[in-house]
């Protein structure tokens, strides 16, 4: 089959690879109909999240069940499903405690090179390096889906792939950021980063009762998209002091909730040599600090942007003084998925309005380039095998 294969930082190509096959009784093989590139995939592309060997990329995908393992009960050949990105066994301590991204059984390999994180095994993800289980991803014609009775969800035929695909990751991720803040209604929510995850958090903030949603991003074209599809206020940190602006907008108090939908962006030595664009994300740990400054006393900071390295100047004094609630991590997609599918099928939310590029999977190298370098007004790329 054909697939998007990571070889080394900066090098993802469209290759011929062996077809996946059923390995465990609970597996299905899915024929992928649509897949997307995530901001998290860029951490692998840059080398920030290391992968020592070739790997099929992709954790945002959906498709048609092609083959079913002997132990699978809930799915049959021909079912059309979305597949949430964490691989969960459904029966361990963490799966039973609403924390499927920490499943104890799915990451049975875990021979990741990152000594700092390797002391406690986390869950497995599709196409997300050996540290996260070494599973092949779904930016491919076919993908093996383990524990297929647990996470995959059938999607009604009248919902397009474009509307359903983001239920696998970015809509639940944006939703988590807002859910963690437990809005009561009327809150001001400031969302740093207006990429796909930030855009989804904006949608979730409105649905959960925010009275004002503020999008922050240095890229004007992304702020324009946010304004157009989500009717938010916008701030560009290259043009204004964002913390001051947010305080002004909230009577000096600060936002009730700040969301970090940017994450870390370490030095990109390898890629920097290969590309001409300015590395505007360098040092974006500043975003987390800005969240702690811009949030009101006793407010909540939700961090869904990924952080992959330690940081030694953490503003713990400000967090303590202001009594800030912090929640972060990978989205517990399974806690929300059925409700979010209902929102989509009942047309209470539109998800496909963030798609800027719909390309064949064979264009994957180009697709990564424009998404990574923010070229061609790229917001979200979906790929069709
Ligand atoms: P993206 O790279 O498209 O978006 C990041 C956005 O942040 C860009 O629009 C960029 O211009 C903006 N940005 C950069 N510096 C900024 C600053 N100083 N202030 C405000 N905005 C700034 O990626 P994405 O797909 O939207 O993902 C965002 C983050 O969420 C990534 O770190 C990704 O790994 C993470 N993520 C986490 C989960 C989870 O489960 N927690 C799931 C999916 C993605
Ligand atoms: Zn993702």
As for the ipTM of the complex, it is 0.99
Looking at the CA of residue 222, tell me the nearest atom of ligand 1: 9
Give kind and range of the element (H or E) at residue 325: strand 325-328
The answer on 140 and 23 residing in a single domain is: yes
Which of 60, 84, 85, 195 to mutate to test ligand 1, by most ligand atoms within 8 A of the CB atom?
Answer: 195
When pLDDT is cut at 50, 70 and 90, the band that residue 120 belongs to is low
- For the domain that residue 256 is a member of, what is the CATH number? 3.40.50.720
Residue 330 has pLDDT above 90, yes or no: yes
Which of 43, 200, 217 to mutate to test ligand 1, by most ligand atoms within 8 A of the CB atom?
Answer: 217
Read off the pLDDT of residues 168-205 as tens digits, 9 standing for 90 and up.
Answer: 999 999 999 999 999 999 999 999 999 999 999 999 99
The answer to whether 223 and 194 have CB atoms below 8 angstroms apart is: yes
Q: Which ligand is nearest to the CA of 380?
A: 1
Residue with the smallest CA separation from ligand 1 atom 29 is: 305
Read off the pLDDT of residues 56-80 as tens digits, 9 standing for 90 and up.
Answer: 999 999 999 999 999 999 999 999 9
- For the domain that residue 45 is a member of, what is the CATH number? 3.90.180.10
Sign, CA torsion 118/55/91/154: positive
Read off the pLDDT of residues 302-315 as tens digits, 9 standing for 90 and up.
Answer: 999 998 777 777 88
Domain of 294 in residue numbering reads as 173-328
Residue with the smallest CA separation from ligand 1 atom 7 is: 193
Core vs surface per residue 53-82: b (16+ CB within 10 A) or e: eebbbbbbbbbebbbbbeebeebeeebbbb
The answer on 44 and 188 residing in a single domain is: no
Q: Calculate mean pLDDT across residues 117-130.
A: 79
Tell me the CA–centroid distance for residue 330 and ligand 1, in Å: 13
Residue 333 has pLDDT above 80, yes or no: yes
The answer on 265 and 160 residing in a single domain is: no
Domain count, the chain: 2
When pLDDT is cut at 50, 70 and 90, the band that residue 273 belongs to is very low
pTM, two decimal places: 0.95
The answer on 276 and 153 residing in a single domain is: no
Q: Calculate mean pLDDT across residues 129-142.
A: 94
Tell me the CA–centroid distance for residue 39 and ligand 1, in Å: 6
Biggest CA–CA distance in the chain, Å, is: 61
The answer on 323 and 226 residing in a single domain is: yes
The answer on 161 and 12 residing in a single domain is: yes
End-of-domain residue from the set 286, 303, 328 = 328
The answer on 187 and 108 residing in a single domain is: no
Residue with the smallest CA separation from ligand 1 atom 9 is: 195
Q: Which ligand is nearest to the CA of 83?
A: 2
């Amino acid at each position: 089959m054909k697939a998007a294969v990571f070889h080394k930082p900066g090098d993802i190509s469209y290759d011929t690879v062996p077809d996946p096959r059923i390995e465990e009784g609970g597996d299905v093989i899915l024929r992928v109909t649509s897949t997307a590139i995530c901001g998290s995939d860029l951490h692998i592309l840059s080398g920030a999240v290391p992968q020592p060997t070739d790997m099929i990329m992709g954790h945002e995908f959906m498709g048609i069940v092609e083959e079913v393992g002997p132990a699978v009960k809930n799915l049959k050949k021909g079912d059309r499903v979305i597949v949430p990105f964490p691989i969960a066994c459904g029966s361990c301590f963490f799966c039973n405690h609403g924390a499927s991204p920490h499943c104890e059984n799915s990451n049975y390999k875990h021979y990741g090179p990152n000594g700092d994180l390797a002391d406690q095994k986390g869950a497995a993800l599709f196409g997300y390096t050996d540290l996260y289980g070494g599973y092949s991803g779904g930016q491919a014609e076919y993908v093996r889906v383990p524990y297929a009775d647990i996470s995959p969800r059938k999607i009604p035929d009248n919902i397009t792939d474009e509307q359903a695909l983001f239920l696998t990751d970015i809509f639940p991720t944006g939703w988590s950021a807002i859910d963690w803040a437990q809005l009561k209604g009327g809150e001001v929510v400031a969302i740093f980063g207006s990429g796909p995850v930030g855009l989804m958090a904006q949608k979730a903030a409105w649905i959960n009762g925010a009275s004002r949603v503020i999008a922050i991003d240095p890229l004007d074209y992304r702020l324009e998209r946010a304004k157009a599809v989500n009717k938010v206020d916008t701030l560009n940190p290259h043009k204004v002091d964002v913390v001051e602006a947010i305080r002004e907008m909230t009577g000096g108090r600060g936002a009730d909730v700040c969301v970090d939908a940017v994450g870390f962006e370490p030095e990109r030595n390898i890629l920097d040599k290969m590309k001409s664009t300015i590395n505007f994300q360098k040092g974006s740990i500043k975003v987390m600090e800005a969240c702690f400054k811009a949030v009101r006393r006793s407010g909540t900071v939700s961090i869904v942007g990924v952080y992959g390295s330690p940081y030694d100047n953490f503003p713990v004094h400000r967090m303590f003084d202001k009594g800030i609630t912090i929640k972060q991590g990978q989205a517990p997609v399974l806690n929300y998925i059925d409700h979010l599918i209902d929102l989509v099928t009942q047309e209470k939310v539109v998800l496909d309005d963030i798609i800027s590029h719909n390309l064949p999977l064979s264009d994957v190298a180009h697709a990564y380039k424009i998404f990574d370098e923010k070229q061609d007004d790229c917001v979200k790329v979906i790929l069709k095998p």
